[in-house]
Chains A and B, each alone.
Chain A
Amino acid sequence: GNSVTQMEGPVTLSEEAFLTINCTYTATGYPSLFWYVQYPGEGLQLLLKATKADDKGSNKGFEATYRKETTSFHLEKGSVQVSDSAVYFCALSDRTSGTYKYIFGTGTRLKVLA
């Protein structure tokens, strides 16, 4: 079945450091891919998405490129801020089910130190 694998956290970085959070997927066909962010005490907010191979999603300085060859959708940011501290979830939309339900990775907690 479809699945998403995310790198284990927590990830601790200093402010202005470069961020990479790895995400790989297994899927039948070519699902849409998403990154969601969960700030402390809040719900899941869409950060960015990509719907087909080679698409790059971007938002708030974050980027991720849909790589079909490596079945990956790694999240990157060139310079993190303290306010980026949150839990980041990679997810795919399961097109095979017809309901487009999401399958999530385990989430990666990011802590940015001033």
Chain B
Amino acid sequence: EPEVTQTPSHQVTQMGQEVILRCVPISNHLYFYWYRQILGQKVEFLVSFYNNEISEKSEIFDDQFSVERPDGSNFTLKIRSTKLEDSAMYFCASRGTGRQETQYFGPGTRLLVL
């Protein structure tokens, strides 16, 4: 069964460093998402991406964040200058076409900013 994959599974970084989280969505999906879950809190929407551009972003997704689909398979989230409060689990998700609303999630990347 097709699945969403994410790398790395864990990342530890120093405050102020740049990190890139990678995701490979399901191959025929067209809509892509990033969510994050700070420890003990709810899963929050960050950004959605369709047709090579951001279709919606939350207020969390400020200028320090960017997303890219550099090729036909990868979908990346970059945090330009990490802060302590960026420590969280980051989930990538994808869904198919049109009215197919079900999203399929990757296993997540746990980011720890020291």
Instruction: Kindly state the separation between the CA atoms of A12 and B47 in the bound complex, as whole angstroms.
Output: 35
Return B55 CB to nearest CB of chain A, in Å: 5
A51 to B45, CA, bound (A): 20
A contacts with B, residue count (CB < 8 A): 25
Q: B residues within 8 A CB of A91?
A: 43
Given contact pairs A43-B91, A99-B31, A104-B43, A32 touches B101 in the complex (Cβ within 8 A) = yes
> What is the distance, in angstroms, from B51's C-beta to the closest C-beta of chain A?
12
- B residues neighboring A (CB under 8 Å): 4, 6, 31, 33, 35, 41-45, 48, 50, 55-56, 91, 93, 95, 101-108
Question: B92 CB to closest chain A CB, in angstroms?
Answer: 9
State in angstroms the CA–CA spacing of A105 and B43 once bound together.
Answer: 8
Q: Which residues of B contact A36 (CB under 8 A)?
A: 105
CB–CB B102/A98 < 8 A: no
Nearest B residue to A93 via CB reads: B101
The answer to whether B43 touches A44 (Cβ under 8 A) is yes
Tell me the nearest residue of chain B to A34, going by C-beta: B102
B-contact bits for A77-108, CB 8 A (1 contact / 0 none): 00000000000010101010111111111110
A residues touching B (Cβ–Cβ < 8 Å)? 32, 34, 36, 42-46, 49, 51, 89, 91, 93, 95, 97-107
**How long is the Cα–Cα vector from A39 to B102 in the complex, in angstroms?**
19
A-B contact pairs, 15 of them (CB 8 A): A34-B102, A36-B105, A42-B107, A43-B6, A43-B106, A45-B105, A46-B102, A91-B43, A100-B31, A101-B48, A102-B33, A102-B93, A103-B45, A104-B42, A107-B42
B4, B42, B55, B106: the one contacting A99 at CB < 8 Å is: B55
User: Do residues B41 and A102 form an inter-chain contact, with CB atoms below 8 A?
Assistant: no
Given contacts A43-B107, A44-B91, A99-B48, contact A89 B102 (CB under 8 A): no
Q: A68 vs B6: C-alpha distance in the bound complex, in angstroms?
A: 36
* Besides A43-B105, A99-B48, A106-B42, 17 new A-B residue pairs in contact (Cβ under 8 A), listed by A number: A43-B6, A44-B43, A44-B93, A44-B105, A45-B105, A46-B102, A89-B43, A91-B43, A100-B31, A100-B103, A101-B48, A102-B43, A102-B45, A104-B42, A104-B43, A105-B42, A106-B41
